[in-house]
Structure 1
Amino acid sequence: MIYMAREDNGTFLTVAEVAEIMRVSKMTVYRLVHSGELPAVRVGRSFRVHEKAVNEYLDSSFYEAG
């Protein structure tokens, strides 16, 4: 049986979509995925990152200046 991602569970994003959200290059996203800082699943030759993982990464990356 195949389960599709439901709206309430969020969605999987491409590396290009993650890069656009984070306003970084695709290479930066690939580095985060390969280092394990940003969890991803491999689909064929490409990666997909769950939007929840992106949000958690950004939430944990806040830096208080001053």
Structure 2
Amino acid sequence: MRETEDAVPSEKKRFYSLEQVAELLGVNYQLIYKLVRAGELPAARIGKVYRVVRSDLDRYIEQSKGHAAGGVCSVCGNRYQSRLSLKHECVDCGGPICVDCWSRKKARRCPAHGRGGAAGTKMGNS
């Protein structure tokens, strides 16, 4: 009977496996794994197993309430349904920048704050 109790997430537990977090949130394991790997959901890796602290899970849930709707990239204007695609910010105003603009275009600033690319950040004498 002990195995059954450990398999079911309990509100009183302090640490959860990724499977238990997925069950608590009603999503699949792969989504939770991606959130952990992206750094969106803090987790400790103990051996080969990730563990999520209940307080970190609660904090993630509270933070994600405002971000669940996604948003619009301030550089390219594309609309995204997930905040995972908009995890970077303009260095001046904090406006969301999509992963594509950040990595491919090297955009660090939105158009309102000058040249967004890496070339715009190089100043001074060579």
Normalised TM-score (structure 1): 0.76
Aligned equivalent of 1:12, options 4, 11, 15: 15
Bigger radius of gyration, 1 or 2?
2
- The total of aligned residue pairs comes to 56
Counterpart of 1:38 in structure 2 is 41
Cα distance in 1 between the residues matched to 2:21 and 2:34? 12
Backbone CA RMSD of aligned residues:
1.9
Normalised TM-score (structure 2): 0.41
What is the aligned-residue identity percentage? 36
Higher helix fraction (1 or 2): 1
Q: Deviation above 6 Å: which 4+ runs of structure 1?
A: none
- The structure, 1 or 2, with the larger RCO (C-alpha pairs under 8 Å, 6+ apart) is 1
Gap runs ≥5 in structure 1: 1-9
Counterpart of 1:51 in structure 2 is 54
